[in-house]
Amino acid sequence: MIRYGILGFGHHAVRRLMPGFALAKNSRVTALSRSSMEKAHASGAEYNIPHVFDSGADLCRSPEVDAVFVATPNSAHLADVLLTIEHGKPVLCEKPMGMNAGECRQMVEAARKAKVLLGVAQVFRFEQSLAAFRQRIAGGQIGQPVFARSEFSYPAASHPRKWLFDARIAGGGPISDVGVHCIDALRFILDDEVVRVNARGTSTPQSKDLEAAALLSLEFSRGTLASVAVSTRAAYRTPLEIVGDDGSLRADDALNVEHPVDIELRKSGKLVETQTVSNGEAYARQVDEFAAAIETGADFAAPGEQGWQNQEILDAAYRSLKSGQTESVPRIAGTPAR
């Protein structure tokens, strides 16, 4: 059993992580940290977490913590990950892993030097829906992928994470917040890498200097052309579609964990098969697979290098927003899509 400490026990920990840990088989939360001891004690009592701290360093030093889950706001990820690595403990960091690729590189290099396991919480890599897409495409059911589409929208006007509209903390708008999920999902299911990206975006008075909606065009190394549409202005929706030269796969809500997903296989425009899967245990599988990597040395499906590669794509997208041009994406050596 791996005992986790959650560094930054806020909205995401309450809404997603704790329900996931409740379903996990080899992972449990034994510690948390918050910005004040009053808040920490309140959360500890509510969720029956025995060890509470108002300091990340104290949490990392605790002998009751085997691994750390960093769930602080984006701007704190670098310092919190490096802190955990300094204490020699495996660390699973929320996405986006950093504010820019340079930060991600620092984390990966520090983890390698210290021989500490670093993972990025790209939770959709642990969904049944993405696994089904990946397996069917690898099996040639739609032939060679020609087009791909992934979208992610949600209304953020009254979201509990108020820092979403603060560029100093968030780093970016929906491109970095949920676009990273779309990008990673496409990399994962196509088992391919993005080589070029073009981005267009719009902002609102609330989003200020950050985009509120954006459309990305991605070119993959094997020729697949993909679009990613993201927004903090529309209702929650996560459609995913891959069109090949011998059929297509699609699902209306592929990147959700709350209700079943129907994956449709079409040939010559006709529906030939529907597969229904559940993503309800994705958060549990994520922490249990990280626990297995700690205990047995097994590969983890989302190592820190994948977070770094995703960030290279995000950085290229933001360069494109400013330049109005298509931007190339640097490839991180030795990190093929898994």
Give the CATH number for residue 17.
3.40.50.720
Q: What is the pLDDT of residues 129-143, one digit of tens each?
A: 999 999 999 999 999
Does residue 306 form part of some domain?
Answer: no
CB atoms near residue 296 (< 10 Å): 8
Q: Looking at the predicted structure, is the pLDDT value of residue 190 above 90?
A: yes
Residues 50 and 164 in one domain: no
Look up residue 16 and give its amino acid: R
Number of domains in the chain: 2
Q: In the structure encoding, which two tokens stand for residue 130, read together? A: 């993405």
User: Residue 338's pLDDT band (boundaries 50, 70, 90)?
Assistant: very low
Amino acid 336: pLDDT = 47
Average pLDDT over residues 235-249: 97
Amino acid 207: pLDDT = 86
Does residue 334 form part of some domain?
Answer: no
Amino acid 168: pLDDT = 94
Amino acid 337: pLDDT = 45
What mean pLDDT value characterizes the chain?
A: 96
Amino acid 99: pLDDT = 98
Residues 90 and 17 in one domain: yes
Does residue 336 form part of some domain?
Answer: no
Average pLDDT over residues 31-47: 97
User: Residue 335's pLDDT band (boundaries 50, 70, 90)?
Assistant: low
Does residue 212 form part of some domain?
Answer: yes
Q: What is the pLDDT of residues 281-305, one digit of tens each?
A: 999 999 999 999 999 999 999 999 9
Q: Looking at the predicted structure, is the pLDDT value of residue 154 above 70?
A: yes
Does residue 91 form part of some domain?
Answer: yes
Does residue 202 form part of some domain?
Answer: yes
In the β-sheet with 194-202, what is the strand arrangement from edge to edge?
270-277, 261-267, 247-251, 240-244, 145-153, 225-231, 213-220, 194-202, 327-328
- C-alpha 18/C-alpha 15 separation (Å) is 7
Contact (Cβ atoms closer than 8 angstroms) between residue 293 and residue 119 = yes
- R_g (Cα) of the chain, nearest Å: 19
Domain that holds residue 194: 127-279+311-328
Residues 6 and 76 in one domain: yes
Amino acid 158: pLDDT = 77
Residues 226 and 107 in one domain: no
Amino acid 180: pLDDT = 98
Residues 213 and 115 in one domain: no
Average pLDDT over residues 40-57: 97
User: Residue 104's pLDDT band (boundaries 50, 70, 90)?
Assistant: very high
Residues 246 and 273 in one domain: yes
Does residue 208 form part of some domain?
Answer: yes
Amino acid 163: pLDDT = 83
Average pLDDT over residues 250-279: 97
Percent of the chain with pLDDT over 90: 92
Amino acid 334: pLDDT = 59
Residues 24 and 68 in one domain: yes
CATH of the domain at 186: 3.30.360.10
Amino acid 98: pLDDT = 98
Residues 201 and 157 in one domain: yes
Which of 153, 161, 166, 233 has the alpha carbon at shortest distance from 13?
161
User: Residue 162's pLDDT band (boundaries 50, 70, 90)?
Assistant: confident
User: Residue 164's pLDDT band (boundaries 50, 70, 90)?
Assistant: confident
Q: Looking at the predicted structure, is the pLDDT value of residue 238 above 90?
A: yes
Residues 12 and 82 in one domain: yes
Average pLDDT over residues 86-102: 98
Does residue 12 form part of some domain?
Answer: yes
User: Residue 23's pLDDT band (boundaries 50, 70, 90)?
Assistant: very high
Q: Quickly tell me which residue has 């499906």 as its tokens.
A: 301
Residues 136 and 253 in one domain: yes
- C-alpha 180/C-alpha 253 separation (Å) is 16
Average pLDDT over residues 15-34: 98
Q: Is 300 left (phi over 0), alpha (psi -120 to 50) or beta?
A: beta
Residues 255 and 297 in one domain: no
Residues 140 and 96 in one domain: no
